[in-house]
């Protein structure tokens, strides 16, 4: 038996990229709430809600994973704000149990956190900067980070910037796919001018997470692209790159919309550490868009 990689949230955007690119190096154990039938001998599917503690524990007993990439979370910021019990159960309590299971089974954990742990007052955050989340989603992810770090010596917390791309498997939560659908219809798209980000493409991200799973890096690492810009500028550049009129993208302010949870203004991540320690390069926006389009054509 080869190295076994357990991936949570298989039906999600980031997990799809990880599993699609796992290649022959890993036998993948894919956990999802939805039925998983891939027909691929290297993917062992399990259908469960991660909150089913006994079943999750059984999966570890049965599969003895070498490494875990924990992507599953409720990543909808506004949903987390109004459904705090559910957000806590999925984002915090599940991570707690997974950390305990990783410790018991001596499995390495790669935990997917977020740039939203920062308050966005400064930007270009390095791994040592002190997080200060503005919304409940960010709070749950930060608490989960602490649990992972306290429980496990051999874990890495990967803080992801805004993730951009098309789902490599399944549907996934892709703003790019929604944006292109609007461009095709000629419908304008509003993009927040106040949110400055360092978007990372989902293909590079999948590769980086797999590299981290197979490495012995510990601590925290920021996985962000090499271009820092606001989301309105990003929308314009995407439209231009894909040959759509740039005026289909209109500026908005996400923190001026009533009833929405607060978003950090400048949550850009400094990717110097990732550039230094990973073989997978973090890309500029243009190169990332080229990679996304090339991968979609294959």
Q: Are 278 and 208 in contact (CB under 8 A)?
A: yes
Closer of 50 and 107 to ligand NAP (Cβ): 50
Give me 89's structure tokens.
Answer: 């159960």
Q: Are 71 and 20 in contact (CB under 8 A)?
A: no
Q: How far is the CB of 207 from ligand NAP (least distance, A)?
A: 15
Helix (H) or strand (E) holding 4: strand 3-8
φ, ψ of residue 116 to 5 degrees: the values are -75, 0
Q: How far is the CB of 186 from ligand NAP (least distance, A)?
A: 26
Q: How far is the CB of 116 from ligand NAP (least distance, A)?
A: 7
Q: How far is the CB of 71 from ligand NAP (least distance, A)?
A: 4
Give me 5's structure tokens.
Answer: 């990689």
Residue with the CB atom nearest ligand NAP in the bound state: 12
Contacts of 219 (CB under 8 A, 6+ apart): 127, 156, 157
DSSP 125-165: B-TTSPP--SSHHHHHHHHHHHHHHHH-SSEEEEEE--EES
Closer of 204 and 245 to ligand NAP (Cβ): 204
Distance CA 150, CA 286 (A): 38
How crowded is the C-beta side of 101, counted as CA atoms within 13 Å? 26
For the chain, what is the largest distance between any 2 Cα atoms, rounded to a whole number of angstroms?
55
Closer of 80 and 249 to ligand NAP (Cβ): 80
Closer of 118 and 244 to ligand NAP (Cβ): 118
Q: How far is the CB of 205 from ligand NAP (least distance, A)?
A: 9
Distance CA 154, CA 99 (A): 11
Query: In the complex, which residues of this chain contact ligand NAP (CB under 6 A)?
Result: 9-15, 32-34, 50, 71-75, 90, 112, 114, 141, 160, 162-163, 172-173
Closer of 50 and 148 to ligand NAP (Cβ): 50
Q: How far is the CB of 247 from ligand NAP (least distance, A)?
A: 25
Q: How far is the CB of 234 from ligand NAP (least distance, A)?
A: 12
Closer of 66 and 114 to ligand NAP (Cβ): 114
Strand partners, 196: 230, 266
Closer of 2 and 52 to ligand NAP (Cβ): 52
Pairing of strands 3-8, 67-70: parallel
Tokens 């080869």: give the residue.
2
Reduced to 3 states (helix: H, G, I; strand: E, B; else coil), residue 97 is helix
Closer of 160 and 221 to ligand NAP (Cβ): 160
Q: How far is the CB of 75 from ligand NAP (least distance, A)?
A: 4
């Amino acid at each position: 038996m080869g190295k076994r990689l357990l991936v949570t949230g298989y039906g999600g955007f980031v997990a799809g990229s990880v599993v699609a690119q796992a290649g022959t190096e890993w036998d993948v154990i894919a956990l999802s709430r939805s039925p998983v039938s891939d027909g691929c001998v290297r993917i062992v599917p399990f259908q469960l809600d991660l909150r089913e503690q006994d079943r999750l524990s059984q999966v570890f007993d049965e599969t003895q994973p070498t490494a875990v990439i924990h992507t599953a979370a409720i990543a909808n910021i506004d949903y987390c704000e109004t459904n705090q019990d559910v957000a806590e159960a999925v984002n915090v309590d599940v991570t707690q149990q997974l950390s305990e299971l990783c410790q018991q089974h001596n499995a390495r954990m790669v935990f997917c956190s977020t740039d939203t742990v920062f308050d966005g007052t400064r930007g270009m955050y390095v791994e040592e900067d002190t997080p200060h989340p503005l919304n409940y989603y960010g709070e749950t992810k930060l608490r989960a980070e602490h649990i992972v770090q306290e429980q496990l010596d051999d874990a890495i917390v990967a803080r992801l910037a805004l993730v951009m791309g098309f789902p490599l498997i399944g549907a996934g939560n892709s703003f790019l796919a929604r944006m292109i659908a609007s461009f095709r219809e000629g419908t304008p798209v509003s993009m927040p001018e106040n949110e400055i980000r360092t978007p990372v493409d989902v293909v590079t991200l999948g590769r980086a997470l797999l590299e981290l799973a197979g490495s012995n890096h510990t601590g925290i690492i920021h996985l962000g692209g090499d271009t820092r810009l606001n989301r309105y500028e990003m929308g314009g550049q995407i439209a231009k790159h894909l040959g759509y009129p740039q005026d289909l993208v209109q500026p908005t302010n996400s923190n001026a919309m009533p009833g929405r949870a607060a978003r950090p203004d400048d949550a850009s991540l400094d990717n110097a550490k990732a550039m230094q320690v990973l073989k997978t390069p973090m890309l500029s926006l243009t190169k990332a868009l080229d990679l996304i389009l090339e991968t979609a054509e294959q």
